[in-house]
A = this chain, B = another copy of it.
């Protein structure tokens, strides 16, 4: 799975810059990648880069917003492909599994951004919080549609979060299957309660 921006970019050039910056930041971290390298990979001039994104912080935020949109649409696509409410919940972990298989996978970009920039850029911490919040609400809607008690939702979300960091650090995708199996147990227990 290669992530490419699909949501209405500010401009064509802006999208190319975001795509290049996202790949570089995600692979190596934010502080390790300079504006000049982004400029070089994106194939634009430094002047153009700064007229699209007036600072590195602005570029980082744009990258995170694009990542959020790709996450949302990827999950939504996987969930819509499932038929039963129970399968829709489990589709989350199938989506994770295919993501973890990507050779460039290196964990959740928001967790990485939060750890590296959360203190120095409060706007980054806020965006990460919004992203995780939105995921929690999405899971809560699916849980509610499945007729399961509300407290199941944060539990299923925890499994997804844990699977992402575990897969990133261990370097293998097994955690998606473990999360899926645990989710099945939790869902069934909640429905039979």
**Cβ contacts under 8 Å, A114 to chain B:** 107, 168-169
> Which residues from chain A sit less than 8 Å from chain B, CB to CB?
27-32, 106-108, 110-120, 125, 128-129, 132-133, 151, 154-155, 157-163, 165-166, 168-171, 174-175, 178-179, 181-182, 185-186, 189-190
Q: A30-B116, A161-B165 are in contact. List 15 more A-B contacts (CB 8 A).
A: A29-B116, A29-B117, A29-B119, A31-B32, A32-B116, A115-B116, A151-B178, A154-B175, A155-B159, A155-B178, A159-B162, A159-B182, A162-B162, A182-B186, A189-B189
Q: Does A115 contact B120, Cβ atoms closer than 8 Å?
A: no
- For the complex, give the distance between the alpha carbons of A132 and B169 in Å: 8
Q: Does A119 contact B169, Cβ atoms closer than 8 Å?
A: no
The distance from the CB of A147 to the nearest CB of chain B, in whole angstroms, is: 17
The distance from the CB of A166 to the nearest CB of chain B, in whole angstroms, is: 5
**Cβ contacts under 8 Å, A113 to chain B:** 115
Residue of A114, A160, A170, A179 with most partner-chain B CB within 10 A: A114
Given A107-B115, A161-B162, answer yes or no on A129-B171 (Cβ-Cβ < 8 Å).
yes
- For the complex, give the distance between the alpha carbons of A114 and B171 in Å: 12
The distance from the CB of A139 to the nearest CB of chain B, in whole angstroms, is: 12
The distance from the CB of A117 to the nearest CB of chain B, in whole angstroms, is: 7
- For the complex, give the distance between the alpha carbons of A150 and B181 in Å: 13
Q: Does B159 contact A159, Cβ atoms closer than 8 Å?
A: yes
The distance from the CB of A126 to the nearest CB of chain B, in whole angstroms, is: 10
**Cβ contacts under 8 Å, A182 to chain B:** 155, 158-159, 182, 186
Provide a sorted-by-A list of 14 A–B residue pairs whose CB atoms are within 8 angstroms.
A28-B120, A29-B118, A32-B116, A32-B119, A107-B115, A111-B111, A111-B115, A125-B169, A129-B170, A155-B181, A155-B185, A157-B166, A160-B162, A189-B189
